[in-house]
Amino acid sequence: MNILINNIDPKLSVITLQSGKTQSVSALDRLPKRTYEVVYEKKDTVSERQEMLRRCADEVCSMLHKDKVSEVCLDASKTDAADVMAFLEGLQLADYTFDRYKSKSREHVATVTVKSGLISQEMLDEQLNVWNRIFWCREWVNLPVADLNAEQFADELADIAKDLGVACTVFGKKKIESLGMGGLTAVNKGSVDEPRFVVLEYCPKSLSKSKPIALIGKGIMYDTGGLNIKPDDYMQEMKSDMAGAATMASVVFAAADNQLPVHLVACLPLTDSRPGFNAYAADDVLTMYDGTTVEVINTDAEGRIILADAIAYAVANYNPQLVVDAATLTGAAVRAISTYGIAAMQQHADKPMQKLKQVGEEVYERIAEFPFWKEYDELIESDIADIKNCGIAQAGTITAGKFLAHFAKEVPYIHLDIAGVAFFSKKQFYYAKGGSGYGVRLLYNFLKSNK
User: Distance between the two ends of the chain, CA-based, in angstroms?
Assistant: 29
- 266 to each of 38, 121, 312, 405, how far by Cα in Å? 40, 30, 13, 17
User: Of residues 230, 355, 433, 448, which has the active-site annotation?
Assistant: 230
Write the CB contacts of 374 (distance below 8 Å, at least 6 apart in sequence).
none
Confirm whether 55 is a catalytic residue: no
Strand partners, 388: 295
Query: Alpha-carbon torsion 449, 310, 403, 282, what sign?
Result: positive
Q: What is the DSSP string of 23-66?
A: -EEEEEEETTEEEEEEEEE--SSHHHHHHHHHHHHHHHHHHHHH
Pair 196, 171: CB distance under 8 Å: yes
Read off the DSSP letter of residue 302.
-
Smallest CA-to-CA distance from 78 within 10, 22, 12, 17 is with 17
Would residue 304 show up in a list of annotated catalytic residues for this protein?
yes
DSSP 118-167: S--HHHHHHHHHHHHHHHHHHHHHHS-TTT--HHHHHHHHHHHHHHHT-E
SS3 category, 423: strand
Distance CA 150, CA 170 (A): 11
Catalytic entry in 49, 54, 196, 304: 304
Give the pairing type, strands 111-115 and 2-5. parallel
Catalogue the active-site residues.
230, 304
